[in-house]
Structure 1
Amino acid sequence: MSTPLTVVCWNFENNGKGRPDLRAAGADLLRRLAPDIALRQELWDADAHGHKIFNEQTRALGLQGVLGAESCTAVFYNPAKFSVVRGWAQGRGPHFVLPPTALTLRYEDAGPDSLPFNAVSYHLNYASAEQRLLEAEWLTTWADKGWTTPGRSHHTLPAILAGDNNSYPTSSPGDLPLPDLNTVKNEPHRLHRSYAGPSGARLPDTRPDTAFRTAGLKDAALYWATAPHGDPSALSRTVNASHTHGPDSRVDRAYLTPELLAALTGFEVIEVDEALSDHHILRLTLNGDLLSDVLAPSMSA
């Protein structure tokens, strides 16, 4: 029987807004989802007092983890299934306002000679479309990391990148429609979520998604929504509509390098009560046996 693996992504905004009761509720919700990898954003104050809050959350989840610089992002992982081959605290590039957290992980069931893969939690800048594009371009470098096996064969590592994009996906059939910027009443937000097109008119910002796609990364939700045995609800909103900030949007997204799509067996958006967070949770399901096949060096050459 194949081993299911669960990957979740959640911007638990403001880490519960400084309220221990909300943090505890968020940790309880994630624990019930039983993630093997959790890609988190906005863990503010989790590094204070010797990482007290972060350590509480790792214990609550029953996982190990790495908290990124300034508590902007984190990666949690199940040590019974994954081990860290490399951390990227010193190799993420200089251009992030909110630094990502990236780990190179080995899936233990795939064996000691299997390829590891990169798991990246990120949070693109909220205020500048130009900054977001720069950050997205740098993030694609984790889809271009080389690896040499013990047999001296060379490979490019698979990668999972997920986070808050503060921007929209490129318009695709079945996806949520792009907003009419004229209906976004909050003028600063209208600026923040748009860019100046060739004519000078403001356009909804889809450029980070375009950058990821240009680099060969695949939007996991879009893939699953259009797969033969997939589910169109994978394209559900991850942020609710607001009368000031625009319609339902799919701001939070997960991207996979193409070979990992073979192991993807599910994708869903788990809605969260707005009293807890204004972002919903992404949950990806991977087939462990198929992932082992993908990570076998002979298959990944």
Structure 2
Amino acid sequence: MPRHITVVSSNFELNGNGDHATWLAMQQRLAGLRPTILCRQETFGYAPTGRGSTLFGESKSITKLVGDLGPGKHATALYYDPEVFEQITLWDTEWPGWLLHPTAMTLRVCGTRDVDMVVGCAHLSYNSPTKRWTEAEDLTRFADRVETYESEHGPRKRKLPVLALGMDTNSYVDPDRLVPGELAIPRLEEIKDPPHRAHRSYETASGERVMDSRPDRILLTAGLEDVARHAALLPGGPGLAAVAPTVDECDTHGPAHRVDRVCTTDWLLPAVVHVEVADMKGLSDHHTVVVTYDLDMVVDLYRARFALTA
């Protein structure tokens, strides 16, 4: 039987905004998804020390995972199952220009000598398409991690793949890459809130305002693929359920759309088994992306890529 792992990416609105009952219900809901890796955005109120560390510790206890917070405002966090992965490095992501800094780790598959991959969690700027552009460029660093390993032929360099980058992009998928039947990205005139029109679009050199999908295109150029799109196109796969909206229609944001995504290095896509969007109505303003990988396939692809022995 193949070993399946689950990556969950969840933006929990303001981390419950001080409502402990809602916070607890969300932790239990996430635990019920049985994540192996959990990417959390809007982890406000968590901290490495003090009262915030107690709450963060409770979240780890409920989900039965371990993990770390991002720097700065500690607005993102990454959790993982220590029975499946061993943390090799917690990255320094205190990068200039970020309000909500990302979290990233290098994880090793337990039981292997050097099957190491990058996982990340990010929350792009809600109000500035210019910031999102530069933030997406920063995230391409996750796909550019080169490490040196000893082999029977001496030291060898290896560019690590990104197993999963879970994020709230606050922007849209490339309209030229929509899955047939997927909801179109909103048009500017469909967004009734004027500030939000500015938040989700930018002006081209010709003076035209276009909806922002630059982060999607930047990550794609860096070899980071949208796993939901891949799964939706698999024969016998989840179909359009994989690319369901992650934000419902509302007055400010306009029509329902998909802003929460998980990306993976393109050559790991064959290991993606299933993608779904878990409904979080009553708990958060975002729904949760759930991705299933075949871990044995991940390891096999990795070893084939780098000509490694078991």
**TM-score by shorter chain over 0.5:** yes
Q: Please point out which of 286, 294, 300 is paired with 1:293.
A: 300
Describe how 1:189-268 pairs up with structure 2 within 5 A: 189-232=196-239, 233-268=241-276
What's the offset of the Cα at 1:229?
3.3
1:223 aligns to what SS in structure 2? helix
TM-score, normalised to structure 1, is: 0.95
Larger mean Cα displacement after TM superposition, 223-232 or 189-198: 223-232
What's the offset of the Cα at 1:271?
1.1
CA contact (8 A) 1:38 1:76 kept: yes
Question: Matched residues in 2 for 1:190 and 1:44: separation?
Answer: 26
Once superposed, what is the RMSD of the aligned Cα atoms?
A: 1.4
CA contact (8 A) 2:70 2:93 kept: no
Describe how 1:1-301 pairs up with structure 2 within 5 A: 1-47=1-47, 49=51, 51-69=53-71, 70-88=73-91, 90-91=92-93, 93-109=95-111, 111-112=112-113, 114-151=114-151, 152-159=155-162, 160-171=164-175, 172-174=178-180, 175-232=182-239, 233-273=241-281, 275-296=282-303, 298-300=304-306
1:71 aligns to what SS in structure 2? coil
2:43 aligns to what SS in structure 1? coil
Q: What residue identity is the alignment partner of 1:71?
A: H
Q: What residue identity is the alignment partner of 1:162?
A: G
Q: What residue identity is the alignment partner of 2:278?
A: I
Number of corresponding residues = 296
What's the offset of the Cα at 1:50?
5.3
Q: Point out 4+ residue stretches in structure 1 off by more than 4 angstroms.
A: none
Tell me: CA distance 1:173–1:262, structure 2 relative to 1, closer, same or farther (3 Å): closer
TM-score, normalised to structure 2, is: 0.92
Where does structure 2 lack aligned partners over 5 or more consecutive residues? none
Deviations, residues 91-110 of structure 1 (Å, cap 9, x unaligned)? 5532322100001000114x
CA contact (8 A) 2:6 2:36 kept: yes
Tell me: CA distance 1:294–1:65, structure 2 relative to 1, closer, same or farther (3 Å): same
Q: What residue identity is the alignment partner of 2:261?
A: R
Q: Calculate percent identity across the aligned residue pairs.
A: 38
Q: What residue identity is the alignment partner of 2:62?
A: A
Q: What residue identity is the alignment partner of 1:107?
A: V
Q: What residue identity is the alignment partner of 1:263?
A: A
